[in-house]
Copies of this chain bind each other. A is one copy, B any other.
């Protein structure tokens, strides 16, 4: 399987597969005589793991840690759970920060007429000298 097929099968773009290899997240695959990367099923499996971890908001570095745990059959599930819950807390913190911004802005907007007049509490507040 060439990189394009592995990309298709895993949902990770060819560009990203090369990048993950370059930074050491995944193992370099076999190469054909002409230098093409050759992927087998286990490689694709790993790529899918990476894609899912990324889609859960884990950074590449965190994904590397998860991958190591995944491959370590003697890991303690407590280690995984700890990592996961710490990540959940970070995600929720970021979500809360975004929602706080949205709430503030929505509040400002609710006081803005939204007509042709220039008067606008949104800009007034953002630009207030205080």
Contacts and interface: CB of A to CB of B under 8 A. Distances in A.
A80 B116 CA distance: 10
B95 A56 contact: no
Given A105-B87, A118-B75, A112 B80 contact: yes
Interface size class of A (residues with CB under 8 A): 35 or more
Given A95-B95, A98-B98, A88 B106 contact: yes
A68 to B, nearest CB: 11
Given A76-B117, A114-B78, A102 B106 contact: no
A70 B61 CA distance: 41
B126 A70 contact: yes
**Which secondary structure dominates where chain A touches chain B?**
helix
A45 B129 contact: yes
28 contacts: A48-B127, A48-B129, A52-B126, A53-B126, A69-B120, A74-B118, A75-B118, A76-B115, A76-B116, A76-B117, A76-B118, A77-B116, A77-B117, A78-B114, A80-B112, A80-B122, A80-B123, A81-B109, A81-B122, A84-B105, A85-B109, A88-B106, A91-B98, A91-B99, A91-B102, A92-B99, A92-B102, A95-B95
